[in-house]
Amino acid sequence: MTVRADHPLNTAHDIADPYEPAADEIIEACGGDAREAVKALLGANEYLEGRVRVLEASVSWGYVRASVQASQRKRQS
């Protein structure tokens, strides 16, 4: 799909994509192979999801409950 330069959906001139430099760096680190870069990112994501699970398991429910309640009270005031 091609979007005219003056079309409202064309945001390229309004906002620079903050992911472009990082994407270029990752692809370059993977020897220019975009497929390998995607696989590397999937692996990194899997690792981070595992870390989140470990951290969630290590936080007591009482602490989480109190934190959530405090957060809800702040939003209501």
Which tens digit of pLDDT belongs to each residue from 27-46?
A: 999 999 999 999 999 999 99
Residue 12 lies in a domain: no
When divided into structural domains, the chain yields a total of 1
Cα separation of 36 and 53, whole Å?
Answer: 26
Q: Is it the case that residue 25 has pLDDT exceeding 90?
A: yes
Residue 36, pLDDT score: 97
Residue 31 lies in a domain: yes
For the entire predicted model, the pTM comes to: 0.56
Residue 6: strand, helix, or coil: coil
Q: Is it the case that residue 1 has pLDDT exceeding 70?
A: no
Residue 3 lies in a domain: no
Question: How many contiguous H segments (helices) and E segments (strands) does the chain have?
Answer: 3, 0
Please give the residue range of the domain that contains residue 52: 20-76
Give the model confidence (pLDDT) of 4-15 as tens digits: 666 666 655 556
Residue 66 lies in a domain: yes
